[in-house]
């Protein structure tokens, strides 16, 4: 089965942009930003990872600045959150779900584009992870939140590593197609959400250090 790379990459990118943009607008609503602030935060989280990816690849102007279609998802997400947020009861759950969706898609698109530009598989995986977590990092820093990437009480980058590695392996085996892409996205999404729901953690930087205060000090309560 032939994988229509260029077309599929754009659609995967747009879907990931929308998911991340919703997470940005939800966080802006929680922080009581105005509509313009919500739009800017949605654009930052949804386009930031792709911009970093394209700059590293030296592929010319980032797609976010050359393809007007890339500006539609942040605007759509901002409008949707504006009208629907008043009825949202479980804010954190929604933010995590949409963030997980963006993470699942961007780790794939970042890896694919790196491979298409001739990067070796390991470098492609690293760029895929960078693409996936870069926007979320910018979002959290801008909104004065503890970045999920560095939150010891949460697992964020590991699902992206898993998705990027699977993408690179299947690409090298010639087995990457639309079906396997959906499967990888589902695995990453499920990994991220289940890890959050069950409070899975990875070891701290120093063996034997206590996690005192992590449970009580976590501002992203699992509601």
Q: What is the mean pLDDT of the chain?
A: 87
**83: confidence class by pLDDT, cuts 50, 70, 90:** confident
In angstroms, rounded to a whole number, what is the distance separating the alpha carbons of residues 78 and 17? 12
pLDDT at 73 exceeding the cut of 60: yes
Tell me the mean pLDDT in the region 96-124: 94
pLDDT of residue 90: 63
pLDDT surpasses 60 at 218: no
Give the integer Cα–Cα distance in Å for 101 and 27. Answer: 16
Cβ atoms 222, 195 nearer than 8 A: no
Q: For CA atoms 30, 31, 37, 40, give the dihedral sign.
A: negative
| Rounded average pLDDT over 198-216 | 69
Instruction: Using pLDDT thresholds of 50, 70 and 90, give the confidence band for residue 112.
Output: very high
Whether the per-residue pLDDT at 27 is higher than 60: the answer is yes
Full-model pTM: 0.85
Predicted pLDDT of residue 89: 54
**What is the chain's length?**
223
Tokens in use for 161? Answer: 């590593």
- Which pLDDT belongs to residue 159? 96
């Amino acid at each position: 089965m032939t994988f229509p790379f260029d077309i599929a990459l754009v659609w995967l990118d747009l879907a990931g942009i929308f998911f991340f943009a919703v997470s940005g607008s939800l966080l802006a609503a929680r922080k009581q930003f105005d509509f313009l602030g919500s739009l800017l935060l949605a654009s930052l989280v949804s386009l930031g990872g792709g911009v970093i990816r394209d700059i590293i690849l030296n592929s010319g102007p980032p797609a976010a600045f050359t393809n007007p279609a890339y500006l539609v998802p942040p605007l759509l997400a901002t409008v949707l959150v504006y009208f629907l947020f008043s009825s949202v009861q479980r804010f954190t759950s929604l933010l995590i779900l949409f963030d997980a969706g963006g993470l699942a898609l961007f780790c794939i698109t970042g890896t694919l584009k790196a491979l298409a530009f001739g990067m070796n598989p390991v470098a492609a995986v690293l760029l895929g992870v960078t693409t996936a977590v870069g926007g979320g990092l910018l979002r959290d820093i801008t909104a004065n939140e503890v970045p999920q990437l560095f939150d010891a009480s949460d697992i964020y980058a590991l699902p992206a590593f898993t998705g990027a590695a699977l993408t690179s392996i299947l690409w090298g085996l010639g087995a990457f197609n639309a079906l396997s892409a959906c499967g990888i996205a589902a695995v990453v999404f499920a990994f991220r959400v289940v890890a959050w729901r069950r409070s899975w953690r990875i070891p701290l930087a120093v063996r034997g250090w206590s996690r005192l205060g992590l449970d009580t000090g976590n501002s992203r309560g699992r509601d």
